[in-house]
Structure 1
Amino acid sequence: MYRPNLMVFVLYFSLECICQSQSAIYSLNYIYTALSKTVELPGIHEFTAMGLMNNRSIDYYDSVAKKKIPKQDWMREKLPADYWEKGTQSRKSKEQWFKVNVEILMKRMMHNSTDVHILQWKHGCEIDQQPDGTLKFMKGIDQYSYDGDDFLAFDDATMQWVAPVVQALPTKRKWDGVQILNQYTKGYLEKECVDWLSKFMEYEEKEFSSADSPPKVYAFAKKAQIAGHVRLTCMATGFYPKDVVMHIKKNGVPLTKHDGVLSTGVLPNDDDTYQIRMSVQIPEADKETYECYVNHDALKEPIVEKWDGKCCDCGSVVGGVIAAVIVIIGVLILVVLIVLHRRGKIVIPGLRTT
């Protein structure tokens, strides 16, 4: 397995930004995925490369279109045409590198060409934005996987490649034998990557600083699997940025996982905003006060949405049964009246007898 020219790696990587509560952690990664052969599935290509920022796609390339394209307006506006032209050439070069090395790994693993095999590469960096705005390097990532299993990873601290499987040892020995390339990899992860990440953060901040979106908050309950209980759910949706605080409160006191609270975590919506749900199971007859508490940067003050004590679907089955019983009783009464009429016991106007 040979190594590609590392100089083409400098400009092209992906950005994934994770903003956690009470922290400003950002990460930057490119993810390249190559299949050993084409599969007849829509949207699945023999080679893809994508950049991610704040869980958003910022650029994309595949082996069909063969063109690196921006996926965010600010990427299109801020980066010049030659950035995308050079990026396209770099992606084409990597596509060929992956094609060769998938075949090398298949032989090394003693895999035949009947099945589809996958080689993936991810590299980038993670930083912590300090209160004064400076960026602190946290860690670098440069790792390969084969068929979903770890194959080779760069240890930034020791400047050595780590081979978790014996088949990766030849590549480790070859790459570790060129220390200048390992020094370059360390420098890229700790400096080049951070510089580009800082620039992308600046571009994104200008784009979205005036586009913060506040959450919409809902509190509702549905019938639980356990009889006599309901599952109370708090949902916040449509907010940006990602960082949010949510609690389900009982009589003003936040409930925790020890009280049975479940959370979906923050999930992306289709419109680049986010959503989160928390739920807890409570007795249907519970008369305590429950409310959803949500705080977000786009809010001037937290939202507190009180549950109205109603269950969305608890009465639906009972109501249906009652309606069915009423219909049946009505039909029985009508049959009895007709029988009595025909026997001459009663007279129903307009109904003839034989």
Structure 2
Amino acid sequence: MRLPGRGALLLVLSLGSVRLEKHSLTYIYTALSKDVAPPGIHQFTAIGLLDNKAIDYFDSVNTEKVPKQQWMKDQNEDDYWRKGTQSRQSKMKWFQVNLKILMDRMRQNQSDVHVLQWLHGCKADMHRNGSVSFSQGLDMYSYDGNNFLSFDDDHLVWVSSCPAAQQTKRKWDDVPSLKEYTKGYLERECLDWMKKFLGYEQKQLEAAPPPEVYVFAKNSNRKNNVVLTCLATGFNRKEVTLQMRRDGRLLTPVDGVMSSGVRPNGDDTFQRRDRVEILKTDSSSFTCVVVDEATNFNVEKVWDHKLLDESESLVIVIVIVSAAAGGVVLLLGVLVARWYRKRKGNAGKLGTNNVPDVVVPAAQNDNTPTQPLMNQKSEDALVPAPQNDNTPDPKSKSDEHKPLIGKKSDGSKESLSSSGTDSGVSVDCLQNQTEDVAADEVETN
């Protein structure tokens, strides 16, 4: 076999080292069975996140879907927000009904608080030519912070993380149209919305003021050293490159460089601060380089070898947020449940007879009939809702109320799924159930 020449090898290595931009679009719904005392925690919230940054919001107090980014407000017409509000209000009612049904069937105390959550969306890679390609779909839901089911769009199967979810997994796996629609949304429709929103955001980025870059030094605790700092703040994307150079050579952690990493500011922009300790007598040229390829921002600041005057008041506010918005919302289910149970002195243990039937996914669109989504009788079949407010219902009109999940199960315990595609959420699922929560499909926006 003829081996490739050195030039070809370098080309392959170069292509393999191209870094892709990572993007995500997710929606998170959180519903509590009752109001709780801590301020700012609502009985129902829904939030849309683009790259873990809130783009829209809804809660049970204001009951209106509102933009959280100026570009979302500017680019989407009133009809978009009106339909979105109707959709969120429909979901809020669904969560209220189904939380009560789930608690009744599990014989749980109505005075306790329980949390039902749903997360769905997609992740994608953006290439240097601006094209976006799908990388991962997300569709999972949980009860009281414990994962029930997630959808594996690669293999078109629902993945259970505990025996309690096996019965529901099998029922949903037996509905090809649901699996195909779910896969289609995650891999295509969600991606279309992501590209649209990224385009809206890009327009704002191009019109936004450029980031501010500072390079300064102050005395170190070591007598003969100074701490040189490079600070970039006010950039709108996390994917910004910051470098410190000495006579043109890139400084790395091996040279003692320490970084704060990208941190959020209070105005939805970001900042990063890198620093390195050097000798006071070092006369080399030190440069701070900040690059944002998406906006063609490229700035180099050279240190003037001056130290900050201790008598001056130079205030640099570094706002550190310990968790992204998505993580905070996802943790809400666990934290609220634990807080309430601790206050009540109730460990929340389930008896062997606390067995719920299947709970089906939330109403998806504004045209859902006003009749209850579920019958209260446990022997009745449960019916999934239509899909969402911007996508045609994949089921025909005649199938709108056709039972998707049959009669309640026989109560047999199932073994853990052997699939290795679980979402990674704790398998510490609710015990002694025959079935658990399953979702139909997702809202696009």
Q: Structure 2 matches for 1:236-255, cutoff 5 A?
A: 236-255=232-251
Distance 2:65 2:278 in 1: 51
More off after superposition, 236-245 vs 286-295: 286-295
Distance 1:244 1:56 in 2: 16
Q: Structure 2 matches for 1:24-173, cutoff 5 A?
A: 24-102=21-99, 116-173=113-170
Question: Which of 244, 257, 276 lines up with 2:272 in the alignment?
Answer: 276
Task: Rate the CA distance shift 1:236–1:134 in 2: closer, same or farther, 3 A.
Answer: closer
Task: Rate the CA distance shift 1:35–1:278 in 2: closer, same or farther, 3 A.
Answer: farther
Q: Give 3-state SS (helix, strand or coil) of 2:20's partner.
A: coil
Q: Deviations over 1:123-181 (max 9, x none)?
A: 11122234444332222111224444443211111111112233333432332232321
Q: Deviations over 1:71-91 (max 9, x none)?
A: 334433433333322222221
Match of 1:296 in 2: 292
2:219 touches 2:227 (CA, 8 Å); kept in 1?
yes
Task: Rate the CA distance shift 1:229–1:154 in 2: closer, same or farther, 3 A.
Answer: farther
Q: Deviations over 1:165-199 (max 9, x none)?
A: 33333432332232321111011111211222222
CA RMSD in angstroms, aligned pairs only: 3.5
Q: Which has the higher contact order (CA 8 A, sep 6+)?
A: 2
Distance 2:103 2:160 in 1: 17
Pair 1:213-2:209 in alignment? yes
Structure 2 gaps, min length 5: 1-17, 312-445
TM-score for both structures, normalised by structure 1:
0.70
Structure 1 residue 208 displacement after superposition: 1.6
Distance 2:102 2:224 in 1: 58
2:233 touches 2:271 (CA, 8 Å); kept in 1?
yes
Q: Give 3-state SS (helix, strand or coil) of 2:268's partner.
A: coil
Q: Give 3-state SS (helix, strand or coil) of 2:207's partner.
A: coil
Structure 1 gaps, min length 5: 1-20, 315-354
Q: Give 3-state SS (helix, strand or coil) of 1:27's partner.
A: strand
Task: Rate the CA distance shift 1:122–1:262 in 2: closer, same or farther, 3 A.
Answer: farther
More helix by share: 1
Task: Rate the CA distance shift 1:300–1:82 in 2: closer, same or farther, 3 A.
Answer: closer
Distance 1:26 1:129 in 2: 7
Q: Give 3-state SS (helix, strand or coil) of 1:302's partner.
A: strand
Aligned pairs, how many? 295
Letter in 2 for 1:234: C
Match of 1:194 in 2: 191
More strand by share: 1
Distance 2:226 2:101 in 1: 56
Distance 1:197 1:279 in 2: 35
1:235 touches 1:277 (CA, 8 Å); kept in 2?
yes
1:154 touches 1:162 (CA, 8 Å); kept in 2?
yes
Letter in 2 for 1:247: Q
1:223 touches 1:312 (CA, 8 Å); kept in 2?
no
Letter in 2 for 1:259: D
Give % identity. Answer: 49
Q: Structure 2 matches for 1:324-335, cutoff 5 A?
A: none
Letter in 1 for 2:239: D
Match of 1:14 in 2: none
Task: Rate the CA distance shift 1:101–1:163 in 2: closer, same or farther, 3 A.
Answer: farther
Pair 1:256-2:252 in alignment? yes
1:151 touches 1:164 (CA, 8 Å); kept in 2?
yes
TM-score for both structures, normalised by structure 2:
0.57
More off after superposition, 216-225 vs 272-281: 216-225
Q: Deviations over 1:252-279 (max 9, x none)?
A: 3222223333322223323333211112
Task: Rate the CA distance shift 1:302–1:42 in 2: closer, same or farther, 3 A.
Answer: same
Distance 2:37 2:61 in 1: 13
2:54 touches 2:68 (CA, 8 Å); kept in 1?
yes
Task: Rate the CA distance shift 1:312–1:248 in 2: closer, same or farther, 3 A.
Answer: farther
Distance 2:219 2:43 in 1: 46
Distance 2:263 2:99 in 1: 33
